Amino acid sequence: MRPLRRLSVAEMSAEHLRVDLRRGRWRGALPGVACLAAELDVSRDTIRAALRLLETEGLLGSRGPGRSRAITAQGLARHRLRIGILLNYPLDVSNVTAHLLLRVQRDLRAKEYELFFMRKSQVELKHDVRRIIRHLGENPADAWIVVAGSREVLEWFAAQTTPCLALYGRTDGLQLARTGPDKVPTYVAATRHLLALGHRRIVLIARHARRKPIPGNVECAFLDELTAHGILTGDYHLPDWEETPAGYSNLLERLFRHAPPTAMIIDGAAEFVATMEFLARRRIHVPDQVSLVSTDDDAALAWCHPGVVHIKWDTAPIVRHIVRWVTAVRKGVAERKTVNYPAEFVPGGSIGPVWNG
């Protein structure tokens, strides 16, 4: 009879980690070497040797020096990949983002991934990062898709080991995957069109995540275009407001009290509809007295006649990109690059020359 071979401490550590991997204890990536060494009460060199064994078996994949190991498809084979979606606003089934996400949901579930939406959106959680983190902790996922995340939220995700893809959002300078339409050229086109029609009191209505802590790239492009035409920009052109129906109503009352804008670029279909209702009550006519541009191609706006000036983009390549990104995560590859797709400025009947009445 052959004598039993004693397992080394590294092999025993690898077996301990192997069992936890099979149970689905971790999602996306393992904790760091120091954390694992403390948990197993072994040296860091022992943990490193154990991790190399698991890499050889194909259960883990390296993500580069100094970074924790990613869990590969083989390492995740015992459970379905679980993808969480953190929304900015509660889902509105009529808008373009809702249709995009429903297609993503359909395509991912066809590949037998588990997909879920966080019960509360960033707006409902008041953009409070601590509250958002707490809710995320109550809903673990192998990877996250964050829709129109605030800068603070995306900075937090960039510092985590769990893979994250930002759908829209401000990821400049962050090691975070991002996709969506490239709206900068369309904002510039819309602003130049309005300026050519003689407008100077142009207001851009942007949501919290686009304004704070500093304006985003499309907002800066808008302000820079005004400045280039000799307009001294300030809070009037990019106003602050509370992201609630009452807060938006207060903003409109404030804007039209003393120096009413002659043109408004509105980021959000709900805000666009609320603006139309406000103007109708005030008997302010579009486009005779105020010009309106929607930065979204919402299905409801297609019923307006004449058509609303808006920004549109093809969602199909974005859906395919998200599905490819999730598939790469499944293989243990968490891509962190930005891939944007062209957007188009679409003229319509909701803008006209400055009213001289």
CATH of the domain at 34: 1.10.10.10
Instruction: Tell me what the mean pLDDT of segment 241-270 comes to.
Output: 95
Identify the residue with better confidence: 140 or 199.
Answer: 199
Same domain as 318, residue 307: no
- pLDDT digits 0-9 by tens, 298-307: 888 888 888 9
What percentage of the chain has pLDDT greater than the value 70? 94
pLDDT at 224: 98
Residue type, 145: I
pLDDT at 352: 96
Same domain as 50, residue 112: no
pLDDT at 93: 61
Same domain as 328, residue 237: no
pLDDT at 78: 52
Same domain as 320, residue 172: yes
Question: Tokens 């492009």 sit at which residue?
Answer: 221
CA angle 83, 86, 91 (to 5 degrees): 110
pLDDT of 335 strictly over 90: no
Does any domain span residue 2?
no
Does any domain span residue 346?
no
Same domain as 189, residue 166: no
Closest-CA residue to 78 (of 121, 24, 114) = 24
pLDDT of 1 strictly over 50: no
- What letter would DSSP give residue 144? E
Residue length of the chain: 357
pTM metric for this prediction: 0.77
pLDDT of 191 strictly over 90: yes
Kindly indicate the confidence band of residue 167, based on its pLDDT and cuts at 50, 70 and 90. Answer: very high
Does any domain span residue 1?
no
Same domain as 272, residue 217: yes
Does any domain span residue 93?
yes
Instruction: Tell me what the mean pLDDT of segment 154-162 comes to.
Output: 92
C-alpha to C-alpha distance for 117 and 315, rounded to whole angstroms: 19
H or E segment and range at residue 167: strand 164-167
Closest-CA residue to 355 (of 195, 191, 197) = 197
- pLDDT digits 0-9 by tens, 280-295: 999 999 999 999 999 9
pLDDT at 124: 92
Does any domain span residue 77?
no
Same domain as 254, residue 149: no
* Beta carbons within 10 angstroms of residue 163's beta carbon: 28
Instruction: Tell me what the mean pLDDT of segment 130-138 comes to.
Output: 91
- Please state which of the ranges 36-45, 145-154, 177-186, 253-262 shows the lowest mean pLDDT: 36-45
Same domain as 298, residue 211: yes
Same domain as 235, residue 154: no
Domains contained in the chain, number: 3
Instruction: Compute CA distances 64 → 68, 160, 236, whole Å.
Output: 8, 15, 47
Same domain as 279, residue 188: yes
**Host domain of residue 176:** 82-180+314-341
Measure CA 313 to chain center.
16
Instruction: Tell me what the mean pLDDT of segment 147-167 comes to.
Output: 94
Question: Are 10 and 50 contacting, i.e. CB atoms less than 8 angstroms apart?
Answer: yes
C-alpha to C-alpha distance for 205 and 300, rounded to whole angstroms: 19
Same domain as 198, residue 290: yes
Question: Are 301 and 269 contacting, i.e. CB atoms less than 8 angstroms apart?
Answer: yes
Same domain as 213, residue 273: yes
Kindly indicate the confidence band of residue 229, based on its pLDDT and cuts at 50, 70 and 90. Answer: very high
3-state secondary structure of 11: helix
State the sign of the Cα–Cα–Cα–Cα dihedral 7, 10, 11, 17: positive
Does any domain span residue 34?
yes
Instruction: Tell me what the mean pLDDT of segment 196-204 comes to.
Output: 97
Kindly indicate the confidence band of residue 76, based on its pLDDT and cuts at 50, 70 and 90. Answer: low
Q: What CATH number is given to the structural domain containing 143? A: 3.40.50.2300
pLDDT at 28: 72
C-alpha to C-alpha distance for 310 and 167, rounded to whole angstroms: 20
pLDDT of 23 strictly over 70: no
Does any domain span residue 236?
yes
C-alpha to C-alpha distance for 265 and 30, rounded to whole angstroms: 45
pLDDT of 234 strictly over 50: yes
pLDDT at 297: 87
State the sign of the Cα–Cα–Cα–Cα dihedral 101, 102, 105, 111: negative
Does any domain span residue 348?
no
